[in-house]
Amino acid sequence: MRIRLRDSVIPGLTTAVFLLLAAMLSAQAPLYPCSAGRGRKTQPERDLAGGQHRGLGSAGPRGREGARRIARAAFAVPPGLSVVEGDEIPYLPAAAAKKRQNQANWTTLDPESKCYLPGVPRATYLPYPFQIVQSPQNILMSYEYAGAVRVVNLGAPTKAPGDSWMGWSNGRWEGDTLVIDVTSMLDNTWFDRAGNFHSDALHVWSATRRAARTRSLTKRRSRSEGVLASVKISMPLYRRVEKDARLLEFKCVEFAEELMYGALRKKSSN
């Protein structure tokens, strides 16, 4: 039996803070060009936030996803470029049919439509910012979408007490690159709105380094036993540096109530 836990915030994380919004997967949202600075030197090693600087990254427009099924152009899902290396996700034959079924019924089956926690790696490239707080022992990642959080342990690797929506993250620094190993994730999450999915054996490795004051580069490799072989994705993460940049709340539960519980509504006798 698997124990399902929600991630919790570890108090006492201090020092550098910054906000990012990553590029999106194909069928997730569009990619837009963004200024990456003018050849500024990379900040000191082991610092993704750049000291005490604050910023908010952006890769495209944002909107209320609860209204995405309305037949108006303002709420349509724009096209996007794939960040999958090779452009194909190598599903095993038995899993390919389920992927197609998911895609055909994504408006009701997609966990995002139900305001579930997004999981990893999807939390990184959803069209919402996330905030990173660094300390020597841990890194806290807080996401605007659904109040999701995860803590990256930088000490000796530890094992998860049970599977959870955001998984269990152990990290380490390799020079100026942050390497994170994520395991113990539930199989309830998807990779994107195109129906790409995984099993509870999903294993994600990521490597992120600062490329400039306003840009970081991240590469991720995922493997899910019984569903797909190894798949690699890479994308830039952009910072925005306006002085009022901050992480806001996006409470999506109210937008999912009709989908989740509408069938339970008492029918009128009239």
- Interval 64-83: pLDDT, tens: 444 444 456 776 777 778 88
Give the total number of structural domains in the chain. Answer: 1
- Adjacent-strand bridge partners of 218: 208, 235
Residue 48 domain flag: yes
Tell me how far apart the alpha carbons of residues 179 and 218 are, in angstroms, rounded to a whole number.
Answer: 10
Q: Within a domain: residue 174?
A: yes
3 assigned to some structural domain: no
Residue 143 · residue 132 · CB < 8 Å: no
Chain mean pLDDT for the chain: 76
For the whole model, what pTM was predicted?
Answer: 0.72
Buried b (16+ CB within 10 A) or exposed e, 71-101: eeeeeeeeebebbbeeeebebeeebeeebee
Q: What is the mean pLDDT of residues 206-228?
A: 84
Q: Is there a domain that residue 70 lies in?
A: yes
CA separation for the pair 103, 269 (Å, rounded) = 37
Task: Answer yes or no: is pLDDT of 56 > 80.
Answer: no
Which of the two residues, 160 and 35, has the higher pLDDT score? 160
The whole-number pLDDT of residue 244 equals 86
DSSP state of 225: T
Look at residue 62 in the predicted model and tell me its pLDDT: 42
* pLDDT of amino acid 47: 61
Residue 159 vs residues 182, 199, 257: alpha-carbon distances, Å: 10, 19, 35
pLDDT band at 154 (very low <50, low <70, confident <90, very high): very high
Provide mean pLDDT across the span 214-231. 83
Q: Which residues contact 170 (CB under 8 A, 6 or more apart)?
A: 152, 153, 157, 158, 180, 181
For a pLDDT cut of 70, what percent of the chain falls above it?
72
106, β-bridge pairs: none
Distance in angstroms (rounded) separating the CA atoms of residues 216 and 162: 31
Contact 237, 248 (CB under 8 A): no
Residue 144 lies in a domain: yes
Whether residue 36 has pLDDT greater than 70: no
Tell me the sheet residues that pair with 224.
Answer: 228
Structure tokens at 26: 């194909």
pLDDT at 80: 78
- Domain extent, residue 206, equals 17-263
According to DSSP, the residues that pair with 238 across neighbouring strands are 21, 215
Q: Residue 51: what pLDDT?
A: 41
**Is 67 part of any domain?**
yes
CA dihedral of 72, 75, 81, 83, whole degrees rounded to 10? -150
- Given this model, what pLDDT does residue 149 score? 95
Where do we find the tokens 């493997």? 223
